[in-house]
């Protein structure tokens, strides 16, 4: 039997249970064949089990709701049923919370894609790595500089320049150092700048690398001209 109201459902079920219990004791005291007591006993057990299952349905839905939030799965939607207005309001609030989480996740993903686009299009090489040397970010200018597309750990870059890697590991927040690197008979003057931040309780070092040989050559030329033509 289906009811469209939780209170009415509970009242009818409790009345049926009370009548069944009364019938059980009435038959126990007024009949000689105790086998007939099985019918009201089975009905009473069924009503109690159904009552428990009916109440636990809300608990199961709440568990699903919190599990979805815990595991960041916001695809779940709670539909209304026939348990009454208060349950419909509860599910409506749960759906609103999940909608807010979905909107927040979409906004975060869009922001992340925007930052990724900016990082990949800046003209300076950027490398971010954890304390154990794991590289978590490397942009296009950096892969071009190091002539490698796959960089999982900072030590891989030792093939390009071991002194550069040592400087990258050694630099602290706000420090800067100039590293001279020879690549294919070409001398690079790399300005290395480091900053640090915390990401998910782990320290991350972000290093920017820029070849400033053109600037140095211009300054040397200017200094030479100043000496030659005082």
The tens digit of pLDDT for each residue in 30-55 reads 665 555 567 667 777 777 777 777 77
pLDDT bracket for residue 74 (50, 70, 90): confident
> Cβ neighbours of residue 154 under 8 Å, at least 6 residues apart?
127, 129, 133, 134, 135, 165, 168, 169
Residue-range domain boundaries for the chain: 6-107, 122-220
Find residue 206's DSSP bridge partners.
128, 195
Question: How far apart are the C-alpha atoms of 36 and 67, rounded to whole Å?
Answer: 47
For residue 55, which of 85, 87, 30, 26 has the smallest C-alpha distance? 87
Classify residue 125 by burial, with Cβ atoms within 10 Å: 0-12, 13-18, 19+: buried
The tens digit of pLDDT for each residue in 142-190 reads 988 888 878 889 998 888 888 998 999 888 888 888 888 887 778 888 8
Q: Within 10 Å of residue 215's Cβ, how many Cβ atoms?
A: 12
Tokens matching residue 84 = 């009454």
122-220 classified as CATH 1.10.10.10: no
Res. 5: pLDDT tops 70: no
């Amino acid at each position: 039997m289906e009811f469209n109201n939780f209170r009415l459902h509970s009242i009818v079920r409790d009345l049926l249970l009370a009548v069944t219990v009364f019938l059980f004791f009435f038959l126990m005291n007024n009949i000689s064949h105790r086998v007939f007591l099985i019918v009201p006993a089975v009905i009473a057990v069924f009503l109690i089990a159904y009552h428990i299952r009916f109440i636990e349905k809300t608990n199961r839905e709440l568990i699903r709701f919190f599990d979805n939030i815990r595991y960041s799965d916001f695809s779940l939607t709670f539909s209304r049923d026939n348990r009454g207005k208060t349950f419909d309001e509860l599910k409506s609030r749960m759906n609103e919370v999940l909608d807010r989480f979905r909107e927040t996740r979409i906004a975060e993903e869009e922001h992340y894609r925007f930052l990724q686009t900016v990082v990949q299009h800046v003209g300076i090489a950027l490398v971010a790595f954890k304390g154990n040397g794991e590289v978590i970010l490397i942009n296009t200018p950096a892969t071009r500089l190091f002539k490698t597309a796959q960089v999982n750990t900072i030590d891989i870059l030792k093939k390009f320049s071991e002194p550069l890697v040592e400087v990258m590991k050694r630099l602290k927040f706000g420090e800067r150092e100039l590293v001279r690197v020879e690549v294919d008979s070409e001398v690079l003057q790399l300005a290395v700048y480091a900053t640090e931040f915390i990401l998910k309780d782990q320290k991350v070092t972000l290093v920017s690398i820029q070849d400033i040989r053109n600037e140095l050559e211009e300054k040397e030329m200017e200094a030479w001209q100043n000496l030659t033509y005082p």
